Amino acid sequence: MNRNNETNPFSSEENIICHMCGSSDVHIRKEEDRFEYGNAEPSVFLSAIVDVYRCNECSIEYTDSKADDLRHEAVCNYLGVLTPKEILRIRESMNMSQKEFSHETGIGEASLSRWERGYLIQNEAMDNFLYLLSQPGNLEILRKRRSDSAEDVEPIFRNIPDMEEAKNRRDAFSLWH
């Protein structure tokens, strides 16, 4: 992900080189990209406003990975689930690495990484879970639950029964048979 492009669009424009002919005479325009989503009947069309690059030298037009991200966001919005950026923001607001977040929540680190990069969309249950985690206090509730259950499994000390008594009891038990 190129963060410089997001924060400073002007500096990135100087560096654009056509990947076909190597010319730096590349022009950018915003365009609505309408695309079909899923296999529903009738078809569902979604749209995203993306940057279209046009090389004035060789006339090729192309979009980049930022356009892919925007199309992915449009799909997430259509499905009503958190976007990759929103998931990233939830985790970062908790000041946790992917590994730490995974440890705290039980969500697989690889899955989390795929959601944040837009390679995969979380299912409805996971989306609800992430949403709840973003609400104040819920992470603390989970942490408390875990620390409580950790207390439960602390070893219970028990006196070793008197060996003589144990033997008698065993003998008594055997009398029943």
Interacting residues toward Zn ion by CB under 5 A: 18, 20-21, 23, 55, 57-58
Q: How far is the CB of 62 from Zn ion (least distance, A)?
A: 10
Token pair belonging to 118: 């837009």
Q: Which is nearer to Zn ion, 27 or 99 (CB)?
A: 27
- CB atoms under 10 Å from CB of 26, counted, come to 19
Of 64 and 73, CB closest to Zn ion? 64
Q: Which residue has the tokens 């992915």?
A: 72
The CA distance from 39 to 50, in Å, is 23
Q: Which C-beta is closer to Zn ion: that of 58 or that of 120? A: 58
Please say which residue, 18 or 81, places its beta carbon nearer to Zn ion: 18
| Residue 144 CB, nearest approach to Zn ion (Å) | 59
Query: Cβ neighbours of residue 73 under 8 Å, at least 6 residues apart?
Result: 48, 83, 84, 85, 118
- Find the helix or strand (DSSP H, E) in which 52 lies: strand 44-55
Q: Closest separation between CB of residue 46 and Zn ion, Å?
A: 29
Kindly state the smallest distance separating residue 76's Cβ from Zn ion, in Å. Answer: 33
Whole-number minimum distance, CB 18 to Zn ion, in Å?
A: 3
Alpha helices, DSSP H, located in the chain: 3-7, 9-14, 65-79, 84-93, 98-105, 109-117, 124-133, 138-152, 163-175
Instruction: Give the residue carrying structure tokens 């992917």.
Output: 98
Q: Which is nearer to Zn ion, 54 or 117 (CB)?
A: 54
CA end-to-end distance (rounded Å), the chain: 76
